[in-house]
Structure 1
Amino acid sequence: MEEVGREVGRVTHYYSKIGVAVIELKAPLAKGDTILIKGSTTNLEQKVESMQIEHKDIERAEAGQAIGLKVKDRVREGDVVYKIS
C-alpha cells in the first residue's frame, strides 16, 4: 500500500442525517488542513472547514481529543484519517 500521508485519527461514528464524522485524533488537526479518509469502501479527500468539540466551533484540535467534523460524503466507523497537507 502506498503512503498517503500521516495518520491523524480514526472515524468512531458517523451521523448520516447531518453529515458529521466523529474522529478520535492521534495527532493535531487544524482548520485548513487537507485530509484523506480511507476505508474498504471510503476514499474521501477534503479540506477541514468545520470542526467542533462538544458543539463548539474550534480552529485546532490535539491528539487524544474526539472531534466532530463536517464531511462531504459518507464515511464509516473504523475508516482511517490521514493528513495530506
Structure 2
Amino acid sequence: MVEKILIGKVTHYYPKIGVAVVELQETLKKGDKIEIEGKTTKLIQTVTSMQLNHVNIDVAERGQSIGLKVEYRVREGDKIYKIIE
C-alpha cells in the first residue's frame, strides 16, 4: 500500500535553473520519493539535489526553507508529499 504524507509547499520557482523553494513541515532526505501536486501540477520524482543557503545538503529538517531541484515546472502553493511504499 502506498502512503502519502504532506511535507511542505512550494513558495517560489526559478524556471531557468529548475529549482523550487520549499517550506518544509517534515524532514526530507536525498533519495526520498516525492509527489508535487497542484491545480495544474502532478509530478512524481526522487529527490536528487537539495540546498540550504546555497550549500548542498542530504537531509532537510522541519521548518527549513530549501532549494529543491525539480524535473518540471511547479507553481507557488503546490503541495509536496513524501511517498512511502
TM-score normalised by length of structure 1: 0.95
Matches within 5 A, 1:1-85: 5-85=4-84
Runs of 4+ in structure 1 off by over 4 angstroms are: none
State the alpha-carbon separation in 2 of the partners of residues 73 and 53 from structure 1.
Answer: 20
Give the residue type in structure 1 aligned to 2:45.
Answer: Q
Give the CA RMSD over aligned residues.
Answer: 1.2
State the alpha-carbon separation in 2 of the partners of residues 79 and 33 from structure 1.
Answer: 18
Structure whose residues are more often strand by fraction? 2
Specify every segment of 5 or more residues in structure 2 that has no aligned partner in the other structure, as ranges.
Answer: none
SS at the partner of 1:14?
strand
State the alpha-carbon separation in 2 of the partners of residues 59 and 17 from structure 1.
Answer: 23
Specify every segment of 5 or more residues in structure 1 that has no aligned partner in the other structure, as ranges.
Answer: none
* Aligned residues between the structures: 83
TM-score normalised by length of structure 2: 0.95
Q: Deviations over 1:16-67 (max 9, x none)?
A: 0000000000000000000000000000000000000011000001100001
State the alpha-carbon separation in 2 of the partners of residues 27 and 60 from structure 1.
Answer: 11
SS at the partner of 2:62?
coil
SS at the partner of 1:84?
strand
Identity of aligned residues (%): 59
Give the residue type in structure 2 aligned to 1:6.
Answer: I
